[in-house]
Amino acid sequence: MIQRILVTGGAGFLGSHLCERLVNDGHDVICLDNFFTSQKTNVVHLLDRPNFELIRHDITLPIFLEVDQIYNMACPAAPGHYQYNPIKTIKTSVLGSINMLGVAKRCGARILQASTSEVYGDPEVHPQVESYRGSVNPIGLRACYDEGKRVAETLFMDYHRSNNVDVRIVRIFNTYGPRMHPYDGRVVSNFIRQALVGENITIFGDGKQTRSFCYRDDLCDAIIGMMNVDDFVGPVNIGNPVEFTIRELAEEVIRISGAKSKLVERPLPSDDPTRRRPDISLAKEKLGWEPKVPLAEGLQRTIEWFQSINLDDYRAPTPNYV
């Protein structure tokens, strides 16, 4: 059935792909974004589609819309982006969630929150299961994002319990792919950009810290699945459980791109999680989902996209780490 769907943060890396998928499925899609970390080019190809609408709006302010489903994706996600204005980051997670939950409550819409593996902080439990309550430094540089997302989960559960709002919560682990902002400072975008322009690849710390990288299309399959499953609120981990060290990722980017870049070590940012890997048993059980795209294939597609863009078209909202 055709739904009226709101995607907040719909011009971003994940949001724009989600909008594209939902438009192609025939839904009426409203993309709402304040373009803090994204640009209109991510959705410009959708503007002439009759079932797509673009609104410039900041979710920390109220808005009145009539929709059936809401994907709440709005929030800066790269460490350099969310630390740029940490107070605004918290407001986006907290005030933004309250505003969007208000829309859902008024319309009787189902609302999905894009939460994060960062709710686990620097985890002592490995791999991370949903029942693990996390180890977040509440006064650290990452707290504006981690604690904001934790409060958002609390708000979602309280609107669900107190006001019967139909909520869904997904905890997204590191996801990469085309339309990542080339200057967002995230590891995949940084390494690919550095490799393609012939710069050294910057390994923070000794590069032994791990992440598990999920390709964008797999991620979108899972969140659309979660939005449309009945009788399951979550939270559910969504990510690729294959774990790599950051040094292995750098070597893979060099191998696939054929770059001549050298690896150079730079200081490790504070509170950088040491190990991260999702346990996805719950997603498999409830959604029948597991990722399909291996890292080498996803990196190949992402590198091809980076080769197709003009880096000068992207503004750098934050200073680089190096």
- Which of ligand NAD, ligand UDP, none does residue 209 bind to, with CB < 5 to 8 Å depending on kind? ligand UDP
Closest distance of CB 293 from ligand NAD, Å: 14
- Tell me which amino acid residue 264 is: V
- 195-226 in b/e form (b: 16+ CB < 10 A) is bbeebebbbbeebebbbbbbbbbbbbbbbbbb
Among 73, 109, 187, 287, binds ligand UDP (CB under 6 A): 187
Q: Which is nearer to ligand UDP, 171 or 186 (CB)?
A: 186
Q: Is 176 a known active-site residue? A: no
**Alpha carbon separation from 188 to 46, 134, 185, 204, 299 (Å, rounded):** 26, 25, 8, 13, 8
Q: How far is CA 4 from the centre of its chain?
A: 22
**Burial of 137: CB neighbours in 10 Å, binned 0-12, 13-18, 19+:** middle
Residue 135 backbone phi and psi in degrees, to 5: -140, 80
Closest distance of CB 71 from ligand UDP, Å: 21
Among 179, 211, 275, 277, binds ligand UDP (CB under 6 A): 211
Closest distance of CB 207 from ligand UDP, Å: 6
Residue 115, classed as helix, strand or coil, is: strand
Contact 166, 233 (CB under 8 A): no
- Number of residues forming the site for ligand UDP (CB under 6 A): 15
- Which of ligand NAD, ligand UDP, none does residue 14 bind to, with CB < 5 to 8 Å depending on kind? ligand NAD
Closest distance of CB 254 from ligand UDP, Å: 14
Q: Which is nearer to ligand NAD, 8 or 210 (CB)?
A: 8
Contact 110, 70 (CB under 8 A): yes
Q: Which is nearer to ligand NAD, 90 or 259 (CB)?
A: 90
**Taking the CB of residue 308, how many other CB atoms lie within 10 A of it?**
8
- Which of ligand NAD, ligand UDP, none does residue 34 bind to, with CB < 5 to 8 Å depending on kind? ligand NAD
**Taking the CB of residue 245, how many other CB atoms lie within 10 A of it?**
16
Q: Which stretch binds ligand UDP (CB under 6 A): 39-47, 164-172, 202-210, 216-224?
A: 202-210
Q: Which stretch binds ligand UDP (CB under 6 A): 81-89, 92-100, 182-190, 311-319?
A: 182-190
**Residue 209 found at the interface with ligand UDP (CB under 6 A):** yes
**Residue 79 found at the interface with ligand UDP (CB under 6 A):** yes
Among 28, 39, 55, 204, binds ligand UDP (CB under 6 A): 204
**Interface positions with ligand NAD (CB under 6 A):** 8-9, 11-15, 33-38, 58-60, 73-77, 81, 92, 96, 114, 116, 172, 174-175
Catalytic residue (one of 120, 145, 159, 176)? 145
**Alpha carbon separation from 57 to 15, 35, 60 (Å, rounded):** 15, 9, 9
Q: Which residue bears the tokens 């019967």? A: 164
Residue 185, classed as helix, strand or coil, is: coil
| Interface ranges with ligand UDP (CB under 6 A) | 78-79, 174, 186-187, 190, 202-204, 209, 211, 246, 268-269, 272
Active site residues: 145
